[in-house]
Structure 1
Amino acid sequence: MQILRTKPIEQTLADSDEPGRRLKRTLSTWDLMIMGIAVAVGAGIFSVGAKAAANFSGPAVTVSFAIAAVACALAIMCYAEFATAIPVAGSAYVFTYATMGELLAWIIGWNLILELFTAGAVVAKYWGLYLSKVFSLVGLNVPASVQVGPVELVWGPFLIVSIFTVLLVLGTKLSARVGNFFTIIKIAVVLFVIVVGFMYVKAQNYAPFVPEAVPAHGTDGTAVLKQSLVAFASGEAPAQYGLFGVFAGAALVFFAFIGFDVVATSAEEVRDPQKTLPRGIFAGLGAVTLLYILVSLALTGMVPYTTLAAADQPTLTTAFEAVGNTDAAKVIAFGSLVGLTTVIMVLLMGLARVVLAMSRDGLLPRALSVTSEKRSTPARLQILCGALVALVAGLTQVDVLEEMINIGTLSAFVVVSLGIIVLRRRRPDLKPSFRVPFGKVLPIVSALLCLYLMANLAIETWIYFVVWLAIGLTIYFAYGRGHSRLNERFAAARSAVTPDHEALDSASVQE
């Protein structure tokens, strides 16, 4: 069947070198490591961790981060093996196309677009909130929104997305240098949070470490929709905290680790990817995990988790304000603002690279994959992606779809993990510089763990996800399947063979 055809790896590599659609290899191991830290150390530390502690895990949010880190590490091993075997832009989409066929590749690419687009808009929205926080802390009364004709535009998110879109159009290396500068600043702020936070830690705030499950707030219908799928399937009444809360917290804070699959999308722009990619990805993941665990210990040790739960939008500043250290709260608010800038930049870059890979294959319009001659960047595509993210972030309440980012990422992680097994079976001749250890065991464990984290996301998230998949499948069958370059090549090869058969048949009749 056409939709189950896989794209040969050799063809994928050849397409990445197509004139007018190629990217330039400029990134080093250091750039990749900083890129991973840049995209991960942001909303995960400054916002999502506090939210998970307040609403799901309590002090056990540290365990939630550890579970999410293990799931990410296992999946990232699979990404590293794939990326060193097929070092081109597109990440999980490209890997799936080479192993499991066109339809599943489209679904994964569509989910990556969901992940990166929604994440870019949500993080930009967070950036706007922190900008308003910084203004209020320094005594400035600056309106968060402006009236543009009949619509109200939240100008902060719109501005920051526009700035980084311009930087990415000017070149990946330039963007990486700017990102490095901001990343060093926010790492300093995170270390400040850890050092100052531990000065306020009280042992009694860690008890109970895993809070006892309590009935969820809200009406019956609302509570059920907010309940995780696994809790609902087990017949449990809608509840917060407890053991299910720890895993629900892990599913939420997984948002903090989404950057590392984005790093894999830059494989085509990396110098010596066979060595650089694994080193950069794992160094970044290790640094980020250590920072997350230390910050979560400081956060839940400073104040009881109930104090965080009482806040409408719990963040790190909530804890420092609760202990009376408003000066630290100002530093954190500024650090959060700086931290989220680099997250936005890497997400915008990753989004453009996934769409570029899909358009190269004809599943999206081919015009989107054209790169500029001077800088070898997908300028028109980057501008389009940036404009859409800026408009959604500035004009909508996109933050309500936060968990959609996680389900899109986890679905890709599941397929990539299983794809390693398929790749090794179909192409034993490939010798990637990095291989996931313990044969099939770790890829299978990775897939199962990611599936379990998906099952711990809210029912309403699953409903939105099914709707998103339905829209994606409609686009594929209406456009993508008919314009697939793989299908065109197959049809051309078949038509080239057919006349020869007809000639042979004609000769046979004459004889």
Structure 2
Amino acid sequence: MNLFRKKTVDQLVADSTPLKRTMRTFDLTMLGIGAIIGTGIFVLTGKGALTAGPALSVSFLLAAICCGFAGLCYAEFASMAPVSGSAYSYAYLAFGELIAFVIGWNLILEYALQAATVSAGWAGYFNKLLGQFGLSLPVELTAAYGTTPGVTTYFNLPGFVVVLLITWVLSIGINQTKKTNDIMVMIKLAIIALFIICAVWYVKPSNWQPFSPYGIYTFQPGSTQPYGILPAASIVFFSFIGFDAVSSSAEETIEPNKTLPRGILLSLAVSTVIYIIMTLVMTGIVPYQEFAKFIDAPVAGVILYTGMNWLAVIVNIGALVGMTTVMLVQLYGQSRICYAMGRDGLFPKFFSEVHPKHRTPFKGTWFFGILTAIAGGFININILFELVNIGTLSAFIIVSAGVLWMRRTAPDAHRGFKAPGVPVVPALSIIFCLVFIAGLNWETWVRFAIWLAIGLAVYFGYSRRHSKLEGAGNAGAPQVAAAKAE
């Protein structure tokens, strides 16, 4: 029994079922921005400002650097193995089947929990927008059971419906998906630009003093929560989760060897600049201590602070659009990971069946879309949100280590893009990820261990015996051949 049997690039490409190739660099960049810009600006900036003060912009920069190092490693793998599956496929290539399955299992957790969690935030902004027009839903249908203190709630109807609508868009074709995402991202960026242009006149440089009131890392008297630039970076790291989903679109991308690296790195760069500008403007308008008054909706709070109430409705729309694109990209990435695992035999064939008309993994998309909608509708999943972080960081570590390993074992393999500064860049990516993981609480580790235990039971109970490599008796070859993308 070879638990670490590998695939070559030729095998990965040969096993792929070409989906409809329509994605270009612009579409991939919009896909990445759609995944990144959303919750970070409209939710996490409040808690981040309380944790780091005006130095929150530095925290965003540190989180972006960590993701940038990982992004360079993703870009190299994407240019070498332009197939669906993202980190799952890259791990199959570098470390073998068992590691690949574990990473794929973690990515499913990452994408599902983030999409379900964002659906809860989306519902909150949707209810606020209805209120601004004098409308309302029955309070029992505004949130999952027990998520609103002092109020009896049973079901998150808005979140449930929006996830199903996004699933429908994903299921009917990549053309519809990319057009929907491109339009929403452009609307979101326009609203953010409008906010910056209107709000920058209210900035008072004195509010940036002291710029870093808590330093790099410190504990305040009477508090168990750390403060400073590093703890805030761990919080806002969530903001960048999702750019890795861009690499899941390899089989729907034109010239993936070139366009995938560009899309990954451009989306990270643009999003980082936006985050830094937004946080400087927001902390320049409102003293950082004041964010405690509107921690759940910091951008709306800044608007009310300036008195520009007319802008509130527009920003609420921007928040809804922003969170919608995040869910769209997460559900897209999830369906493509499951598609790749089903194609390899590690999941039932059901997940890899491609719709003859839409050329999408139709059944798998709906299966996980419905599960995610139910999770967001009924379950209070806020306590599980850190699992998104640990699942993503583990994938980043494997991909970064994979670049180091492949440079050693397959130095002559075809690479359309080479990460610069190897071995330093992958090593720094691993170090950053380990630092962020070390900051997670022990409950997260326990839940993560339980999830891994379930995954290993699935692998040894089903996946190992049904793997296509098992049927072929292939122990995996370490050599990597040059692959030509369609």
Task: Give TM-score, length-normalised by structure 2.
Answer: 0.91
Q: Residues 325, 269 of structure 1: CA spacing in aligned structure 2 closer, same or farther, 3 A cutoff? A: same
The one-letter code matched in structure 2 to 1:4 is F
The one-letter code matched in structure 2 to 1:107 is V
CA distance in 2, matches of 1:134, 1:461: 34
CA distance in 1, matches of 2:295, 2:236: 18
User: Who wins on radius of gyration, i.e. which is larger?
Assistant: 1
Number of equivalenced pairs: 465
Paired residue for 1:61?
Answer: 56
1:107 aligns with 2:90: no
1:64 and 1:253 in contact (8 A); partners too: yes
CA distance in 2, matches of 1:323, 1:365: 55
The one-letter code matched in structure 2 to 1:25 is R
Paired residue for 1:337?
Answer: 320
Kindly state the Cα deviation for residue 295 of structure 1 after the two structures are TM-superposed.
0.4
Paired residue for 1:124?
Answer: 119
Paired residue for 2:150?
Answer: none
Paired residue for 1:502?
Answer: none
1:132 and 1:144 in contact (8 A); partners too: no
Q: Residues 164, 201 of structure 1: CA spacing in aligned structure 2 closer, same or farther, 3 A cutoff? A: same
The one-letter code matched in structure 1 to 2:412 is D
1:369 and 1:378 in contact (8 A); partners too: yes
CA deviation digits over 1:409-459, x for unaligned, max 9?
A: 111111101101111222223121100112311111111112112222333
Kindly state the Cα deviation for residue 186 of structure 1 after the two structures are TM-superposed.
0.6
CA distance in 1, matches of 2:183, 2:134: 27
Paired residue for 2:480?
Answer: none
Of residues 207, 226, 246 in structure 2, which corresponds to 1:240?
Answer: 226
Q: Spell out the pairing of 1:440-451 with structure 2 (5 A cutoff).
A: 440-451=423-434
CA deviation digits over 1:280-319, x for unaligned, max 9?
A: 2222221111100000111111112211124452421122
Paired residue for 1:422?
Answer: 405
Deviates more, 1:411-420 or 1:471-480: 471-480
CA distance in 1, matches of 2:157, 2:267: 32
1:247 and 1:456 in contact (8 A); partners too: no
Determine helix, strand or coil for the equivalent of 2:3.
helix
Paired residue for 1:197?
Answer: 199
Pairwise CA RMSD of aligned residues?
Answer: 2.1
1:460 aligns with 2:460: no
Kindly state the Cα deviation for residue 168 of structure 1 after the two structures are TM-superposed.
1.0
Q: Spell out the pairing of 1:400-439 with structure 2 (5 A cutoff).
A: 400-439=383-422
Of residues 19, 25, 38 in structure 2, which corresponds to 1:29?
Answer: 25
Paired residue for 2:482?
Answer: none
Kindly state the Cα deviation for residue 121 of structure 1 after the two structures are TM-superposed.
0.5
CA distance in 2, matches of 1:250, 1:383: 35
Q: Residues 96, 216 of structure 1: CA spacing in aligned structure 2 closer, same or farther, 3 A cutoff? A: farther
CA distance in 1, matches of 2:186, 2:85: 28
1:381 aligns with 2:364: yes
Kindly state the Cα deviation for residue 142 of structure 1 after the two structures are TM-superposed.
2.8
Determine helix, strand or coil for the equivalent of 1:89.
coil
1:256 aligns with 2:239: yes
Q: Spell out the pairing of 1:361-400 with structure 2 (5 A cutoff).
A: 361-400=344-383
Of residues 295, 301, 308 in structure 2, which corresponds to 1:325?
Answer: 308
Determine helix, strand or coil for the equivalent of 1:419.
helix
Q: Residues 147, 439 of structure 1: CA spacing in aligned structure 2 closer, same or farther, 3 A cutoff? A: closer
Paired residue for 1:283?
Answer: 266
Paired residue for 1:7?
Answer: 7
1:71 and 1:450 in contact (8 A); partners too: yes
Q: Residues 139, 319 of structure 1: CA spacing in aligned structure 2 closer, same or farther, 3 A cutoff? A: same
Counting aligned pairs with the same residue, the percent is 40
Paired residue for 1:70?
Answer: 65
1:302 and 1:319 in contact (8 A); partners too: yes
Paired residue for 1:232?
Answer: none
1:162 aligns with 2:132: no
